[in-house]
Chains A and B, each alone.
Chain A
């Protein structure tokens, strides 16, 4: 005879949790952000470092994917040049909705120190950006904090509706 009493009302007593669909979907989305490997320059090295052993991005559910079709986050890590601009737009178009963009480092934000003829002055001239990450180059902790901010942003959005159109500029 089972002697113990199960308190079904107490937290964890029943293997069932009640929540809304929105929350479940957003929980899934925000904790499995797959990022496109978009290392363009120096920041790309820090992006790799944040995926490597000490910083371990996998614990956030962030895994770098090599294909835009399997990714929902584009971390633009580095200087975007005029010659490359067309390709970043192409790859952005290939990503499936919902998709987010983190602009990592000063070069991606504003052109940074490369105020020259060959550099796009901010990736937001070409693709819409959700999060700007300052620094030259930002440390891996900063990138991880940015991803956590993005998770918060995702959790705030309703999951069922299509993404709101983003301003390009």
Chain B
């Protein structure tokens, strides 16, 4: 019987999990512990709904509604001195919740603080672009679209960035296998030689441990194992490292190991 593999998350799973094991949590602290973050959070809370807020590994995490993302970032940039958007991307929670989580990693150089704004959107939902506030979001949002298929509204150039224009599928979704689908496997062959060349070129060898047991020339002699130290040359002479033909090369001096000097001090 073939083992059941879930279709909604094809990423690698641990082969063993302890049923009684409870995963520990990274400690979450209340925002009130930090005065700077408290002020920032109050500024956000005054105008927008905050679903959750806590401090984790010295950084504040604020969960907001997805519709507010532009306005919250605008507030943070103009009033709370969070002048840089260091990073933004999405996380795929489609398998469990049917949602994408989008995070914005902000940095305030004046306060030396970092905070993370998070929001969740549905699979088919689009999110507002923050490219007007931070130019760097231009490329981040394109990357997010490329990798997850999250469409961003009001973006100047909503095209793929890392994958080719004619690529199918969104590679970082959990439903996309690491080694790609059928389309990915034949992409370069189809493009360069055409589909009819598939048979000539053959499928990719994706198995790094594949050994052809009858191929005794290029790999270990499987099925021909002998004890350690046995002579397996079968009368063939040992091939030493040769740099040139034995008889020498026309008009080229032959390398002479005796005459060469080995420099021991590299720093001389």
Which residues from chain A sit less than 8 Å from chain B, CB to CB?
17, 19, 23-24, 27, 30-31, 82-83, 85-86, 89, 110-111, 115-118, 120-122, 125-126, 145, 148, 151-152, 155, 168-169
Contacts and interface: CB of A to CB of B under 8 A. Distances in A.
Interface string B122-139: 000000000000000000
Contact of B206 (A24, A27, A121, A168): A121
Interface string B41-67: 000000000000000000000000000
Contact of B171 (A31, A115, A118, A122): A118
Interface stretch (B111-119, B219-227, B249-257): B249-257
6 contacts: A83-B164, A85-B191, A86-B191, A118-B171, A121-B204, A168-B200
B178 interface: yes
Contact of A31 (B176, B201, B252): B252
Range of interface residues on B (Cβ < 8 Å): 20 to 34
B244 interface: yes
B206 A169 contact: no
A148 B243 contact: yes
Interface of B: 163-164, 171, 176-181, 184, 187-189, 191-192, 200-202, 204-206, 208, 241-245, 249-252
A17, A19, A116, A155: most-surrounded residue (chain B CB, <10 A): A116
Contact of A110 (B181, B192, B205): B205
Nearest to B245: A152
Contacts of A126: 188, 192
